Structure 1
Amino acid sequence: MPDNSDVRSQLREAILRGAYAPRQRLIEADLAEEYGASRFTLRNALIQLASEGLVELQPNRGARVREITVDEAIEITEIRQAVESLVAARAAEKVSDEQIVFLRQVGDDMRAAVDRNDFMRYSELNSTLHSTLRDIANHSASTRVLEQLHGQMVRHQFRLFLVPGRPSLSLPEHLAIIDGVCARDPEAASAAMGIHVGSVITTLRSFAEAPALS
């Protein structure tokens, strides 16, 4: 029988990939059977996911997938802006020659993906870039914070991905981050990251201001 960490990881991954919709009830008995876990193990996994902000525990009503509002998404991204800027600066301080070559290749691949209108590939490269910067920075506290923020933001990030022209706007922002890190210039890398995440905040605010569909 799987332990708490196994069930938590599987359920977390399922929530992030959209297997369960926002506000969907998470029935302990059904999930225990689905994951081959005891009710006790499943309950502990839900408690852990609630602490990450992915699950909402309601008194006398059980658990459901937590829905992150646009206003919350903006606040989360404001935190991410500060932390990601720190990560970029640290990466610029620590980047090796070999890592510079890799980052330059990521930038070239991102440019090619936009030229081909291959936005799925661009999204994958976006994730690669940010995860590589975290690896280079080797700042464990920042990595933990960003992983938790990503979990809460995943649905809004998909919505950002669908905004027409968004990849073309974000490409020069990403290339500026790469330039700053590869130049081993912490201030330039941090500023470029701040501008990039700031543009995400601007786009999220446009969601909040958009009229609701009837």
Structure 2
Amino acid sequence: MATGIREAILSGEFVPNQRLVEADLAERFGASRAAVRAALLELANEGLIERVQNRGARVRAISLQEAIEISELRMVIEGLCAAKAAERVTEDGARLLTEIADDMRAAVASGDVFGYSRLNERLHREIREISGQRTAAEVLERLRAQSVRHQFKLAMHPGRPAVSLPEHLAIIDAIRARDPEAAERAAREHLRSVIRTLPEADRSRPHGNGLAP
């Protein structure tokens, strides 16, 4: 139940400040009102929705300042994951990262913004997997969900792929070289770049959601 609502929020089907009516959700997902209430409570704890007195629940809107704060937290946690990935990467893992790097180069060269963003998200996911930091991965997934619309704006910002590509390649190179300090430094620099660009990207109003920076 919570998974279905969460996916609708992440895909942009449910937009910020949209009311979530229990009866409508119960009908859509074929669930009881009690199951809907439990799902909404779970999503409220994740920061995806908020309860409004006498008005039920609505999708929580994340401000630019909060998106920046989330990115600052990501900078620390993703730096940790990159460092741990550099310590633990196997030959198979290194080959996989190399393949992703090649695909990212090709996507940027061809102007495939959506393909590049999907690869971007895959890269971050693979780094978390290689790192073995399960708790960090859970925290990062929650933070990503909260700021997904700002991430989409950033991904669609003109020229952003050409900026983020070398940042991602630096992370990959450091992990493949098994250099934890360089990997953490590269991951942090990537997130600093995200933070610098967020205010400018936030002024644009693309539609949709679910892409990565």
Q: Which TM-score applies when normalising by structure 2?
A: 0.93
What is the CA–CA distance in structure 1 between the aligned matches of 2:115 and 2:13, rounded to whole Å?
22
What is the CA–CA distance in structure 2 between the aligned matches of 1:199 and 1:12, rounded to whole Å?
28
One-letter amino acid of the structure 1 residue matched with residue 166 of structure 2: P
Q: Percent identity of the aligned residues?
A: 53
Moved >6 Å (runs of 4+): none
Look up the match of 2:85: 91
Look up the match of 1:48: 42
1:114 to 91, 108, 117: 108
Deviation, 1:211, is: 10
Look up the match of 1:68: 62
The total of aligned residue pairs comes to 205
Judging changes above 3 Å, is the alpha-carbon distance between structure 1 residues 69 and 133 closer, same or farther for their aligned structure 2 residues?
A: same
2:173 is aligned with 1:179: yes
Look up the match of 1:24: 18
What is the CA–CA distance in structure 2 between the aligned matches of 1:147 and 1:95, rounded to whole Å?
21
Note the aligned Cα RMSD (angstroms). 1.4
Q: 1:97-147 CA deviation, whole Å, 9 max, x = no partner?
A: 111111111111111111111111111110111000000001111011001
Q: Give the conservation status (yes or no) of the 8 Å contact 1:70–1:207.
A: no
Q: Give the conservation status (yes or no) of the 8 Å contact 2:113–2:156.
A: no
Three-state SS of the structure 2 residue aligned to 1:63 is strand
Deviation, 1:55, is: 0.4
1:1-214, aligned counterparts within 5 Å? Answer: 7-207=1-201
One-letter amino acid of the structure 1 residue matched with residue 165 of structure 2: L
Question: Structure 1: any 5+ residue segments left out of the alignment?
Answer: 1-6
Question: Structure 2: any 5+ residue segments left out of the alignment?
Answer: 206-213
Q: Which TM-score applies when normalising by structure 1?
A: 0.93
One-letter amino acid of the structure 2 residue matched with residue 78 of structure 1: E
Deviation, 1:8, is: 0.4
What is the CA–CA distance in structure 1 between the aligned matches of 2:66 and 2:183, rounded to whole Å?
26
Look up the match of 2:209: none
Larger Rg: 1
What is the CA–CA distance in structure 2 between the aligned matches of 1:204 and 1:157, rounded to whole Å?
8
What is the CA–CA distance in structure 1 between the aligned matches of 2:115 and 2:8, rounded to whole Å?
22
Judging changes above 3 Å, is the alpha-carbon distance between structure 1 residues 211 and 92 closer, same or farther for their aligned structure 2 residues?
A: closer
Q: 1:4-28 CA deviation, whole Å, 9 max, x = no partner?
A: xxx0011111111011111000001
One-letter amino acid of the structure 2 residue matched with residue 26 of structure 1: L
